[in-house]
Amino acid sequence: MPTTLPEVLISEDRIRVRIAELAGQISRDYGDRDEIVMVGVLKGAFIFLADLARAMTIPRRVDFMGLSSYGRGGAQQSGVRLVMDLRESIEGQHVLVVEDIVDTGHTLHYLLDTLFARHPASLKACALVQKRSRTVADVSIDYLGFEIPDRWVVGFGLDYKDRFRTLPYIGTITPDE
């Protein structure tokens, strides 16, 4: 486990400004809808989702799903599994998936396919960060906070072995091997 604080990659101020920009864009894009359902992907997206939802100016509901694609030690597993489902139906609803990170894209691809089968009126995705150089799955991110290099990142919901998740910035670490 790294013992030093992570090196800052994206500052708290830059994150705050970008979230305000995303919230404004989403509010404009969905301004004619009665309501949207924001689906946060646990655990990583909870901080981003909270800040994004508070900055938006349109009617919205929040729900969560839990998916697993990484083991506790950070090793990638084959496939994705659903560990917690939505509490309400999204049929006929406008749905915005809120994700912390898009790495290979497999998790987001799985989630979008799963939710699309539930017949929402619309389905879009928002991610705080993406490692575009690692994304192999065919996924569309409608709202993206930051594109980042292929480094292990922590903070602002992102973690390493369930540590560093609550840092107010996004930092990089060298994980234990």
pLDDT at residue 40 greater than cutoff 60: yes
pTM exceeds 0.85 for this model: yes
User: What pLDDT is recorded for position 165?
Assistant: 95
* Contact by Cβ (8 Å): 133, 104: no
33's CB contacts (< 8 A; 6+ apart) are: 58, 59, 94
In this prediction, residue 2 carries a pLDDT of: 60
pLDDT digit string, tens, across residues 61-82: 999 999 887 544 444 545 888 8
- Token pair recorded at residue 58: 């349109």
- Whole-number percent of the chain with pLDDT over 70: 93
pLDDT at 85: 93
User: How much of the chain, in percent, has pLDDT values that exceed 90?
Assistant: 82
pLDDT digits (tens, 9 = 90+) for 144-160: 999 999 999 999 999 99
Mean of pLDDT values over 81-110: 95
Which of 36, 39, 174 shows the shortest CA–CA distance to 100?
39
How far apart, in whole angstroms, are the C-alpha atoms of residue 123 and residue 82? Answer: 18
34 is catalytic: no
* pLDDT at site 145: 98
Query: Domain boundaries in the chain?
Result: 12-71+78-151
Q: Residue 42's pLDDT is what? A: 93
φ, ψ for residue 110 (rounded to 5)? -60, -45
Strand, helix or coil at 22?
helix
Band (pLDDT 50/70/90 cuts) for residue 127 is very high
What is the assigned CATH class of domain 12-71+78-151? alpha beta
Pick the catalytic residue from 103, 138, 150, 159. Answer: 103
CA 115 centroid distance within chain = 15
What is the reported pLDDT for 78? 52
Single-letter residue type at 75: A
Does residue 8 have a pLDDT over 60? yes
Location of structure tokens 């799955």:
137
Q: Which amino acid is at 72?
A: R
Mean pLDDT of the chain: 92
